[in-house]
Amino acid sequence: MNQHPLHLQNIHFFKQGWELGHNHQFLELMECVLVIVKWQKKDNCLVMVTQMTSGDEILCPVRKGAVLIKRIYNYHGTDINALFQVD
């Protein structure tokens, strides 16, 4: 199976229609997260997946995305061009 990495630059957070950067202090409080997937199993290109905040402190996709982004940026040498492998 072909696996393609997910780039940080393809993950976007929005509040009131404005995109806010990964370094925003309250990233986990945004209204939605948009993930642009360049390749999927069926060779679909540039699929955009939007997840709205659910309000759940544990399972909210926006909160989970924010935690993931902040964790990756804490690795030494990480920048917007960083990528991670999705299993």
Residue 76 lies in a domain: yes
* Residue pLDDT, tens place only, 1-46: 455 667 788 899 999 999 999 889 899 999 999 988 876 666 667 7
Residue 20 lies in a domain: yes
Residue 13 lies in a domain: yes
Residue 1 lies in a domain: no
Q: What is the pLDDT of residue 12?
A: 93
Residue 68 lies in a domain: yes
CA–CA dist 28, 53 (Å, integer): 9
Q: What is the pLDDT of residue 1?
A: 45
Residue 40 lies in a domain: yes
CA–CA dist 32, 13 (Å, integer): 6
What is the domain extent for residue 16? 6-84
Return the higher-pLDDT residue of 58 and 44: 58
Residue 69 lies in a domain: yes
Q: What is the pLDDT of residue 50?
A: 92
Domain count, the chain: 1
Give the tokens for residue 39.
Answer: 């390749």
